[in-house]
Chains A and B, each alone.
Chain A
Amino acid sequence: MSDAIFIVPSDNKPGRDNVTTTGSLRAEDKTDVTGELETASDPHLYVPDRPPLPIVTSRQLEYPSEHLPSKQAWLDTMATLEDEKLGIVDLHPKIFGTYPRIDILHNNVDWQRKYRFIDYSFARSRAEMPGGGKSPTHRKRLVELGRVVSGHLYIIKVEKHLTKRVHGLCCALSAKYAQNKLIIVDSLEIPKADHQFLEDLIDVRFWGFSTLFVDDSDIMPRNFSLAVNQIPHFNAMPVYGLNVYSMLKHETLVLTLAAVEKIESKLLQILYSAQKEDVKFEYNE
């Protein structure tokens, strides 16, 4: 990683929080770095202050199923380096326990990849230009047998199929949950704006090489934003940006409890509504 520069809001002076604006934070000498950065003894730091564990033992589900037991997951915290379980939360079985259809995941990833090839550029043809009209007759044969006349033109069909998209999200979440790659945390608050702390945390907990953090809104905690900004393979995303491609691309998916609430309520609303057939949209190029 090159020398990175933090993007700090104008009202916050760079020196106030001991956040260095220049210079490599990945210095070999770790003691030097910690000397510059905030330490846990600072009074204005986030200090976990909470009742005895476990704090959470269950979660109220919308549309509870009579026949399907709810899935359960640990509620972790990022306030400490070592893993600490705050409790256990219930997850809806129709979202976190659906049949993992690999073909549906493939369909969704394929759909997302196709968006790269859409070309919205437009040029008027001779017929659409002002002045003269369209040529009255074709001067040439339209199709010459045995070879492609216009090689550069091809059509991409991109369907916006709501059912498949919802199914894809459920499958991806279920696969992540089944493979123990889904982590639920109370919030993304970390004690210091240090990328090294975040890397250590992920190393200690075996979260893998790449991690996707999802929060319910796009304004994330300051310390976390500054730390995650430094590492290209750890990414943060709001709930409205959650997609199948990113979930499968990253090794571990870390959801906040607020994000879980939002994802579940949105997906269940679609799953349980008596809506009519999907409307298909097509983008042709």
Chain B
Amino acid sequence: MAQAGKFADKALQLLRTYPRVALNNLKDMPGAYKKNFNKRRNAGKGKTHGRGHKGMGQRMTLPPLGYEGGQIPFHIRIPCEPYYKDHEFKRQYPPFSLLQVQRLIDMGLVDLNEPIDLLTFCNTAHYDCSIEDNHYGVNLTEEGADTFQAQINIEVQHASEEVIAAVERNGGVITTRYYDPECVKAMSNVLKFLKTSTPIPKCKLPPQDAFEYYSNAKNRGYLADPEEIVQARIELAQKYGYELPEISDKSQKELLLRRKDPRQIFYGLEPGWVISLKDQCVLKPLAEEHQKYYAS
């Protein structure tokens, strides 16, 4: 927005010789407003002004753009070609690159002592996620994979093999995890959600077409078998030619082993709890029926 620098300094230097910038010498950019002109009379050229004689052309009563004549209607004459059928129901994963993650870390917007998830991205205000646009979370992309250097425990919604390799090469942990729209809504604007004083939603399991992805150890799915994931980590390291670094620090090891329950969406808070910002307290469900519903 505000530009400062050598060009601005040049302009300001020029301004010193000019009359005072005051209310009487302000004007908008040339061409800021479109000037209407009479197409019949002012358009130049003599006689008919290029519009010809008689008819709809001269009188400016031509049919509107897209008008089609003929007897058979458009939708009957041309066969249906549903290329984009059900596009409005497809799940969208707005991309976020490893370079951007590294940038957030370098700027100090992300705390490395905590696991990173969708909530972290949304809280930095550098990532936007809205369920109105069918957004289901982050797609972590490869850009900046070569220069990525942080050791993190990250949870995303979609990640390619290269991204997984880039994170694990540095001794990090990556998990792919599904959130249903209700949870995405709660995480995208957490303050707004907490102000509603509704119970923290219980995360649903992934739909049928996504179940395979999230239960596959190659994708580091959260529903995959942990032993298979250990095997897949070694396989990937051999494929990309790096060694999995051993973590000796105890606190770092604890951080990397932290995972959420498949039904849980916030670290440290369980589904069913109500957080009251006004009274500064957490209300937990006591009825057996509720406890049974919110149990994992």
Binding site for B on A (CB under 8 A): 65, 67-68, 93-95, 97-100, 102-103, 105-107, 109, 163, 166-167, 170, 172, 174-181, 245, 248-249, 251, 271, 273-276
Do A109 and B22 touch across chains, with their CB atoms under 8 A apart?
A: no
Do B27 and A102 touch across chains, with their CB atoms under 8 A apart?
A: yes
CB proximity to A under 8 Å, residues B1-34: 1-5, 7-9, 11-13, 15-16, 18, 20-23, 25-29, 32
Which A residues touch B2, using CB under 8 A? 94-95, 98-99, 166-167, 170, 271
Do B26 and A105 touch across chains, with their CB atoms under 8 A apart?
A: yes
Given contacts A170-B2, A175-B21, A248-B22, contact A99 B28 (CB under 8 A): no
Partner of B1, one of A177, A245, A271, A273: A271
- The residue on A at minimum CB distance from B124 is A274
- The residue on A at minimum CB distance from B23 is A248
Given contacts A245-B23, A248-B23, contact A166 B16 (CB under 8 A): no
- Count residues on chain B whose CB falls below 8 Å from chain A CBs: 28
Which A residues touch B23, using CB under 8 A? 109, 245, 248-249
Contacts A174-B8, A176-B21 aside, 10 further interface pairs with beta carbons under 8 A come to A65-B4, A100-B21, A102-B25, A106-B27, A166-B2, A178-B13, A179-B16, A180-B16, A273-B125, A274-B124
Which A residues touch B126, using CB under 8 A? 274
Binding site for A on B (CB under 8 A): 1-5, 7-9, 11-13, 15-16, 18, 20-23, 25-29, 32, 124-126, 128
Which B residues touch A163, using CB under 8 A? 1
Given contacts A105-B26, A167-B2, contact A99 B21 (CB under 8 A): no
Which A residues touch B21, using CB under 8 A? 100, 102, 105, 172, 175-176, 179, 248
B94 CB → nearest A CB, Å: 14
- Which of A95, A99, A102, A105 has the most chain B CB atoms inside 10 A of its CB? A99
